[in-house]
Amino acid sequence: MSSPKGSEKKPASEVRSTATQNLKKKFKPPKDEHLLRKTKNKKPNNTFTKKAEGRVVKRQLPKFKSSHGKTPNSGAVQKFSRPPKTGQKGKEGAQDDQTEEDPFPGDAPIPHARLQKHKRGKAEDLDKNGVTFLSNRIHLKKKEKLVKYAVNLAARSEILLPEETGFLEPAKGDCTSEITQVQIKSSVDITSATKQFDLSMQFGPYAINYLRNGRKMLIGGRMGHVAAFDWVTKQLTCEMNVMESVHDVAWLHNETLFAVAQKEWTYIYDNQGIEVHCIKKLNNVLRMEFLPYHFLLATTNDSGTLSWLDVSMGKMVKRTHTHLGRLDVLCHNPRNAVLCCGHSKGTVSMWTPNFVSPVVKMLCHTQPVRSVAVDQSGVYMATSSIDCSLKIWDLRTYNCLQSYKLGCGASNITFSQRGLLAVSMGNIVEVYKDICTETIHKPYLKHFVGSSVSGLKFCPYEDVLGVGHARGMCSMLVPGAGEPNFDALESNPFQTKSQRRETEVKSLLEKIQPELITLDPFELGEVNRQSVIEKFEEKTRYMV
Amino acid sequence: MSNCLLATLSFTSSLLSSTSPPTSSSSSSSLPLETRLSSSSSSPSPLSVSLSAVFILAVSSVFILVESSSTPEEADGVTGVDEPKHDTMDQLLSAVQIGTGDGDSKAKKIQVNDLLSVIAKKTRLGALSKTVKQAKSRTQTLKVPLEKPQALRVERAAGYEKVKDEISRWDDTVKGNRNAEQLIFPLNQPSLKMCSSKEFTSKFKPKTPLEQQISELLRGNKNVQAEDQELTPAEQEALTSMSLKEALERRKELAKSRALQSYQETKARRQNKIKSKTYHRLLKREKMKNHVKEFEALKEHDPEKALEKLEQLDKKRIEERMTLKHKGAGKWAKLQAIRSKYDENARESLADQLRIGKEVTRKVKKSDDESDEDIPPIPLEKSDNPWLGGTESARPTTEITSGYRKLWDTVNKNKEIKKSMNEIPIKAKSKPKTKKQSVDREVNLSDLPASDDNESITSESPEMQEEFSEELNEGLVRKSTMEDFEQRDEEIEIDQIHRPKKTKSITIEEKVSETTKNKTKLVTDIDPFKFISMPDATIINSSVPVTEEGNEEEDEEEQRRMTLAEAFADDDVIEQFKEEKKRVVSASAPKDIDLTLPGWGEWGGSGVKISKRKRRQFIIKAPPAPKRRDENQGNLIINEDKNTNMRRQQVDDLPFPFRSAAAFETTIRAPVTSTFIPETAVRKLAAPKVITKIGTVIAPMTDEVLISTTNRNKESDDKMELENVKKSSRVKDKKRKRSELTATPPNKRKVRKNEWKITDKPAAKSLKK
């Protein structure tokens, strides 16, 4: 259970365990590996010494020694590690002794891609024109070196991640889409097999939501059935019927609170199902999204109003009337917390609480948009329309990368943590792999559910896809969907109660203010140039 | 007397300096004579060596001598004065007293000569008079002392220099402290460095006589083995002495070879100097002949080497093709061209050159190995067309290489035969289509392109085919060994892994293309996006949902959606979006300011148009709108308004050491917390600049620090330092060289103190994904 991948075994006949193979494929020695080495070799001792009043303050960056690599200085160690000499070797032996070199000199190379992942960009303008005084420049340059060191260290420490991702890999002539859930279930271990289950319920199409650490699940039936439970152990936290239509459900920052969008107003319940709040400002809500870093509950309603509610203070941050009609398509970009809404005119609009108009509006389809999803990195956006089209967009350039035709218009789409795209069409759920980067022709997995799908969510940190449909819900196994390595400080599936409390406090302290929601999250790190110029001009005016 | 005078001189000088500044005449009441005298001379500085000073001293000394007689304790230094000299002193004194006694000094001024005249009488004081005379001849006046403020200024300047010098000794220390990453106070802590055992033993020095004796014995002896070496020096010597004969032999050999070399060199030099063209031509021809002979010989004995040779020749040809040697572009060729009008030889040689050039640059048909196999050789010679009948120009080259070609052919044939032998059993064993590839891989691919199919084999020349068929027959009879089998299997496996299965992919593609054909016909309802660049829609083999009888509601909903889609299909969504974009763009663009007033300067009223001139004059044109990000994307509207809320959160002034915004942005671009980077890096990045030890006195630095630094520099870390210095010097040298090479001087822009560099481009652009 520790990780989705590690615990799942695939059928030996059809599916080969792929983790190592994938790794092999992925880990191509980078092209500039030798370059890395070279640069390292140029400056083998990255020490910088400074004499400071009689005493040398010496800082030495720790060398990254590969386990096999030995530094030539450690002569004593080498001597011990060698077998004792037998007889007289003569001259040659002696020479050999001296000239024997480290076969892997310098630091062990870091794979290029991994290094690239942790890169922090280039330092600019740290010269005379940018910084006054030599000593400051020296300090900044030293800091730059440390930054580089930190990047290298971060890249290196990825080796400590215990789990690897892997997908189903078909045998020759087979394709993964033919593998059924039954087959997968039969071939995985018992713990993982329990993660595949169906719940048949009678309270109408279900909306579903997973907690951020992937441990708890919340379901809300249209006919008023609301239930929260630990979906792994199937332990019920609370269950009730609100005796009203339920449109959407959403967990708040942890498992103690959740929001339910009911017929008229939005209600907040605690983990015992006790109604904590009735938020009358959020009326006729259709879709809800919780922004975990901002503590904002973003909702859309049927009259086209978009609202952000700060759940830490209970304060309405912003209500925006979009004038774009009924808003029943909503998702949020995890990178910058911008909300994406789909509209009936084929457009997708992106909203922040800082503007009354959309920050970006793009025409994606010629017919109404039925669903929108943004991937974990915030780079790709998928949109689907009534006209059976599915498009992948690059959110850096806003260009269409891929355009697909499906058998039917996709009603729900969602991205997994590892970039799989799940699409529901009527009563079919299909999962696509590498859909953003490659043009694909076949789904990765396919599953028929009992009735038309109404809710679709991947479970974080698990290879599980939750599907809410008209007659209940079903949890299906999708190998390779979840992130295998979780950061326990970020979201911990095995959280204890005290840890939960601590995390709550910490996350509240680190809450990001709603003003900082922008399309470009790096904007905050920039200097307000306009004001700098103004101030400078004012100064010069007085000086003259 | 002279020595006594000297003594007094020193005494008086001290006295004078102690009593009062000689510049002030009023204060010197105790020395009236001197003051008088000083009034006569222009500059009375007692310390100057000028004449007047000497004189004054002399006089004053006399005066003091006189005084000293009355006060014996003062005249310690003048004890050597004789009694008989008293009378002269008296005279002198009297002369002086005459002067002093009178109130008006102008009337009876004492001249030097007066005094000298007294002295001149006494022959003993001749020397003094001489010196005075000498001094008189070099008369120089003392300069006027500086005014007080100026004098002080000079003094201060001098003082400043001195202090500066003193303080500059601290420069390195201060700089070092400033640039140090971390300072740990108190600074002069004892270093608690643990030295290794090796270091420790290296420091050991024998002290007691016994130790010394032993060490002498050990070090001086040749039979003691050193730590790193296998042999003792004595053993080594023995070893080297053993190979004396060999060394001699080697020396002989060397001498011989050297002599030979020099001989050859001189010979070559001599030959090189021969300018005769005919000689060289002959030489060349001979060389050519030799080459051919050699090649022929090689062909028979060692075909492999012959091939190599052939390749070399080919390479030479390629080189010649690459150069302009025979293209008539050289100096010589040009000269010959001029000369060729009159000189037949020149003409010939030029023609020769051109011919060679042509030969060399002609494209060689790749007939020998590749095309021969694919295309059956057309019997060109037999055809009636004279133009087709083998180009004449091609002859010479073919003549030259014909020998090689034959060789090539034979080699190739051999290879083919081998290949075919390998091929047959596979054919017999495995299915016909797939497995042949493995064998192809073994054979050089360039030799037989696309020989997968039977066609290529059939297209080969008839002789080859014959040979092949023979080999085929043979192969069928022959049995393959087990080893062969294994090898083949391996190869096949490798093939399967490496090569994508062609058949499969083809079928998939076919299917896809079929489906696309079918579906594209159906899906042509969308108005093409004229202004949006869209990739062509790919059809995913997705299944169409199976509708159930049970949930009619869902069906109905679907139905509703479909009808909706139909309803929306007529809407021109694109047009609407275009209009919206136009609206947004125009709203965001700066607008002209209209300052026209109706009726001002012309007739007003309804229906009166404002004149053009007025409009031109009073409408302030807006600057052109800045470039929008979504300019080239028709399907996109990006809100370009500034986020005022965000601006409030940004840094609105450049902090101290920064001159440019980009520099500041780079310094805050990388995170320092453990959320993003490993703990070790965090500790380094967040290390405090100053660490103080609790409970210790942090005393100010003393001069000892300077001394100790130098000492420490000398003593410790000498190796490391030396290495570092060497490296740095090397780097510096390199840099210097580089800078010398680059002619343009580095761009040195003077930066004023209050200057900021403000760029519109944010620094962290590279960060943005």
Q: How far is CA A396 from CA A296, A435, A518, B533, B643, in A?
A: 25, 17, 14, 16, 19
- CA A459 – CA A4 distance, rounded (Å): 10
Q: Which of A47, A53, A56, A365 best probes binding to B when mutated, by most B CB atoms within 10 angstroms?
A: A53
Considering CB atoms only, which of A59, A121, A528 is closest to B764?
A121
Is the pLDDT at B519 greater than 70, yes or no? Answer: no
Least confident range of A95-104, B608-617, B665-674? A95-104
- Angle made by CA atoms B2, B6, B12, in degrees to the nearest 5: 135
- Residue B690 three-state SS: strand
How many angstroms separate the CA of residue B746 from the nearest CA in chain A? Answer: 13
Q: Which residue has the tokens 């120009």?
A: B393
**Residues in A touching B229 (Cβ below 8 Å):** 94
Q: Is the dihedral of CA A480, A484, A490, A496 positive or negative?
A: positive
**Residues in A touching B182 (Cβ below 8 Å):** 57, 59
- CA B439 – CA B415 distance, rounded (Å): 12
Q: Is the dihedral of CA A461, A463, A469, A472 positive or negative?
A: negative
- Record: contact A401-B657, CB cut-off 8 A: no
Neighbouring-strand partners of residue A429: A424, A447
Helical ranges in B20-50 per DSSP H: 32-40
Neighbouring-strand partners of residue A283: A265
Q: How far is CA A467 from CA A412, A424, A473, A481, in A?
A: 10, 9, 6, 14
- Tell me which DSSP letter residue B370 carries: I
Q: Calculate Rg over the CA atoms of chain A.
A: 28
Percent of chain B clearing pLDDT 70 (strictly above)? 51
Q: Which residue has the tokens 């039969």?
A: A186
- Tell me which DSSP letter residue B364 carries: P
The secondary structure of A422-466, three-state, reads EEEECCEEEEECCCCCCCCCCCCEEEECCCCEEEEEECCCCCEEE
Cβ-based neighbour number of residue B712 at 10 Å: 15
- CA A260 – CA A244 distance, rounded (Å): 11
Residue type (1 letter), B512: V
- Residue A477 three-state SS: strand
Residue type (1 letter), A523: E
Under 8 Å between Cβ of A366 and B524: no
**Residues in A touching B675 (Cβ below 8 Å):** 489
Looking at this predicted complex, what is its ipTM? 0.78
List the structure tokens of B14: 């001290």
- CA B635 – CA A193 distance, rounded (Å): 46
- Residue B302 three-state SS: coil
A346-373 CB burial, b ≥16 within 10 A, e <16:
bbbbbbbbbbeebbbbbbbbbbbbbbbb
Is the preceding peptide bond at B21 cis, omega within 30 degrees of 0?
Answer: no
- CA B151 – CA B147 distance, rounded (Å): 6
- Record: contact B173-A53, CB cut-off 8 A: yes
How many angstroms separate the CA of residue A294 from the nearest CA in chain B? Answer: 15
Q: List, for residues B179-201, the tens digit of each pLDDT value.
A: 888 998 888 777 777 888 888 88
Q: List, for residues B446-457, the tens digit of each pLDDT value.
A: 343 433 444 433
pTM: 0.56
- In this prediction, residue A41 carries a pLDDT of 39
For the segment B434-449, the average pLDDT, to the nearest whole number, is 41
**Residues in A touching B173 (Cβ below 8 Å):** 51-54
| Contacts for B88-94: CB closer than 8 Å, 24+ residues apart | B88/B118, B88/B122, B88/B125, B89/B62, B89/B65, B91/B118, B92/B62, B92/B66, B92/B118, B93/B62, B93/B63, B93/B66
Considering CB atoms only, which of A50, A367, A389 is closest to B537?
A389
Domain boundaries, chain B: 2-145, 152-179, 524-540+571-599+608-641
- In this prediction, residue B556 carries a pLDDT of 65
- Tell me which DSSP letter residue A478 carries: -
Q: Shortest CA distance to A371 belongs to which of A358, A385, A381?
A: A385
Neighbouring-strand partners of residue A404: A390, B538
Considering CB atoms only, which of A52, A89, A361 is closest to B177?
A52
Q: Which residue has the tokens 């309603």?
A: A301
Residue type (1 letter), B670: A
List the structure tokens of A330: 């909503």
Burial of B111 (0-12, 13-18, 19+ CB in 10 A): exposed
pLDDT tier for residue B419 given thresholds of 50, 70 and 90: low
Considering CB atoms only, which of A52, A76, A396 is closest to B183?
A52
- Residue B648 three-state SS: helix
- CA B108 – CA B157 distance, rounded (Å): 45
A127 backbone dihedrals φ, ψ, rounded to 5°: -115, -165
First to last CA, chain B: 102
Considering CB atoms only, which of B179, B635, B665 is closest to A135?
B179
Least confident range of B26-40, B528-542, B707-721? B26-40
**B237: which residues sit within 8 A by CB, 6+ positions away?**
B222
Q: Which of A152, A363, A421 best probes binding to B when mutated, by most B CB atoms within 10 angstroms?
A: A363
**A63: which residues sit within 8 A by CB, 6+ positions away?**
A46, A71, A107
Q: Which helix (H) or strand (E) holds B184?
A: strand B183-185
Is the pLDDT at B4 greater than 50, yes or no? Answer: no
Greater pLDDT, B263 or B433: B263
How many angstroms separate the CA of residue A417 from the nearest CA in chain B? Answer: 18
Greater pLDDT, B95 or B477: B95
Helical ranges in A157-303 per DSSP H: 181-187, 190-193
pLDDT tens track, chain A, 544 positions: 334 443 343 343 333 333 333 333 333 434 444 433 433 333 333 333 333 333 333 333 333 333 333 333 333 333 333 333 444 444 444 444 455 678 888 888 899 999 999 999 888 888 899 999 998 999 999 999 999 999 999 999 988 888 888 899 888 888 888 899 999 999 999 999 999 999 999 998 999 999 999 999 999 999 999 999 999 999 999 999 999 999 999 999 999 999 999 999 999 999 999 999 999 999 999 999 999 999 999 999 999 999 999 999 999 999 999 999 999 999 999 999 999 999 999 999 999 999 999 999 999 999 999 999 999 999 999 999 998 999 999 999 999 999 999 988 899 999 999 999 999 999 999 999 999 999 999 999 999 998 999 999 999 999 999 999 999 999 999 999 999 999 888 899 999 999 999 999 999 999 999 999 999 999 999 999 989 999 989 989 988 7
Interface membership of B728 toward A (CB under 8 Å): no
How many angstroms separate the CA of residue B750 from the nearest CA in chain A? Answer: 9
Q: Shortest CA distance to A309 belongs to which of A268, A270, A249, A262?
A: A268
B248 backbone dihedrals φ, ψ, rounded to 5°: -60, -45
- Record: contact A452-B630, CB cut-off 8 A: no
- Residue A133 three-state SS: coil
- Tell me which DSSP letter residue A82 carries: S
Considering CB atoms only, which of A143, A352, A441 is closest to B538?
A441
- Record: contact A90-B230, CB cut-off 8 A: yes
- Record: contact A387-B577, CB cut-off 8 A: no
pLDDT tier for residue B124 given thresholds of 50, 70 and 90: confident
Q: Calculate Rg over the CA atoms of chain B.
A: 56
**Residues in B touching A78 (Cβ below 8 Å):** none
- CA A247 – CA A240 distance, rounded (Å): 15
Supply the DSSP string of A271-296, one letter for each residue: TTS-EEEEEEEEESEEEEEEETTTTE
Under 8 Å between Cβ of B764 and B669: yes
- In this prediction, residue A104 carries a pLDDT of 85
Q: Which of B542, B632, B656 best probes binding to A when mutated, by most A CB atoms within 10 angstroms?
A: B542
Considering CB atoms only, which of A150, A451, A532 is closest to B758?
A532
CB hemisphere CA count around B260 (13 angstroms): 6
Q: List, for residues B706-762, the tens digit of each pLDDT value.
A: 876 554 444 444 444 444 555 555 555 555 444 444 334 444 444 444 444 444 444
Q: How far is CA A172 from CA A21, A187, B742, in A?
A: 15, 19, 62
The secondary structure of A26-77, three-state, reads HCCCCCCHHHHHHHHHHCCCCEEEEEECCEEEEEECCCCCCCCCCCCCCHHH
**Residues in B touching A354 (Cβ below 8 Å):** 643-646
How many angstroms separate the CA of residue B380 from the nearest CA in chain A? Answer: 51
Q: Shortest CA distance to B33 belongs to which of B76, B66, B77, B7?
A: B66
Which chain B residue has its CA at the smallest distance from A158's CA?
B678
Least confident range of A48-57, B161-170, B241-250, B608-617? A48-57
